[in-house]
Amino acid sequence: MTETRGDISAGNHPGRVRLGLIGDNIKRSRSPDLHRLAGRLSGLDVSYDLFIPRDLGKDFDAVFDACRDSGLRGVNITYPYKETAAGRVTIEDPLVHRIGAANTVVFEEGGAKGHNTDYTGFIAAYRQAFGDMAPGRVVMVGAGGVGKAVAFGLIALGAEELTVVDTQPGKAESLAATVRDAGRGRIATGFGSDVSAVLPSADGIVNCTPVGMVGYPGSPVSAELLGEQRWAFDAVYTPVETQFKQEAEAAGLTVLSGYELFFHQGIDAFRIFTGKFPADLGVLRKLLLETA
């Protein structure tokens, strides 16, 4: 992938769909490749740039406003700005409003509209990997923007129980309460700050922290705690082969890679941005591998 540093002042070109990504530690993001290739397969000329607030000498709000004012069709939002972005947009979907995080923003004449394709993308990725298998009892580490989306995805997939663990107990408790309310009794929820206390009885373990991604080495879960569970999911995809993923696989768990969430949420975002859906996802996957 060729790194693209966003030039917010760049002008529009007729027939081009201009998109971007706002976030930290995104220089190795595959989103530019995915959206440009999806555009090519859909007959569109798509540009997709990276906007890193600190590199631009601006805060998130200033970068967001500049993207809007320069005529971009929309932007994806990633760590650590998804919850901040939700406060800057109109969210029409009641479920996404309840999630409280936006990873896809479309700039329309009436204002910026927020969506959450982490939610839909996680459900699609899980079903592709596990079919109709129920998640069972799940421990999720990380109560931030992607954690909120995945928690609601677990409700939709029929999880029996969800325990939210975060180094900030207040965040874990808040998300657990939201899930409990949204689940309407269909899912038991708990919270805590010590994953070792709750992991032994879990069927699934989910990492929704940035630990493992470029710039945040390590794993949120000690390897000795893995092995009793059936499945795991790591939201991190840069790199794909995280320490958590490798240790979970070594312990015998079936692991859903963060790359699958990236792929499916990206396709959903592309559809929201353009109104089109790439006809052959297999071809898109192949082209993405070839450009890695």
Q: Within a 10 A sphere around the Cβ of 226, how many other Cβ atoms? A: 20
Confirm whether 81 is a catalytic residue.
yes
Select which of 48, 79, 81, 259 is catalytic: 81
Largest separation between any pair of C-alpha atoms in the chain: 57
What does the alpha-carbon distance between residue 40 and residue 62 come to, in Å, rounded to a whole number?
Answer: 31
For the chain, the residue count is 292
The one-letter amino acid at 173: E
Taking a C-beta distance cutoff of 8 angstroms, is the pair 64, 76 a contact? no
What does the alpha-carbon distance between residue 59 and residue 130 come to, in Å, rounded to a whole number?
Answer: 40
Residues 6 or more apart in contact with residue 279 via CB below 8 angstroms: 41, 42
Give the angle 196-261-115 at the CA atoms, nearest 5°. 110
The one-letter amino acid at 172: A
Residues 6 or more apart in contact with residue 277 via CB below 8 angstroms: 42, 267, 270, 271
Residues 6 or more apart in contact with residue 41 via CB below 8 angstroms: 278, 279, 280, 283, 284, 287
Residues with catalytic annotation?
81
